[in-house]
Amino acid sequence: MAKHYTEKEIGKWTVNDLIAYMDDQHRERFGIDYQPFGGWAAERGRIGQWFGTARKAGKYDKELVKEFVDHCFATYKPTQKYPGLNFGFCATYMTREFQAVQKAYQLRQEDEKRAAETVEDLSDWFNS
């Protein structure tokens, strides 16, 4: 069984995997450690609400949440006062960006579904 997030599909990630991913991104992009938004319990709770936990499904697909996190890292401009970001910051202050990421994600999901249906229809037609 895979232990590290890099060895798992995003759909199998846990809250700890997303935190480890964000910590790695912090070190790579900003050269600093990841710090929680308002304490670890609050940060884990917010991630759990969006991402899901072992006991409860999240509000959004894990792939969408990771895309949002990636978007936040790509667009965030560190400052002296705020040299890094965390999930709580993203979920609180970058919701406008979340809407754009969410819309793009939904459109991509719809396109993929249509493409799969087209392939199934063609397969049925050729096998008839």
Give the CA distances from residue 5 to residues 25, 62, 77, 94, 114, in Å, rounded to whole numbers and listed in that order: 13, 13, 26, 24, 30
CB 47, CB 15: distance < 8 Å:
yes
User: Which tens digit of pLDDT belongs to each residue from 65-85?
Assistant: 999 999 999 999 999 999 999
Supply φ then ψ for residue 57, to 5 degrees. Answer: -70, 150
Question: 62: closest CA among 119, 117, 5?
Answer: 5
Domain count, the chain: 1
Q: How far apart are CA 127 and CA 107, in angstroms?
A: 30
User: Which tens digit of pLDDT belongs to each residue from 32-61?
Assistant: 999 999 999 999 999 999 999 989 999 999
Domain that holds residue 88: 5-127
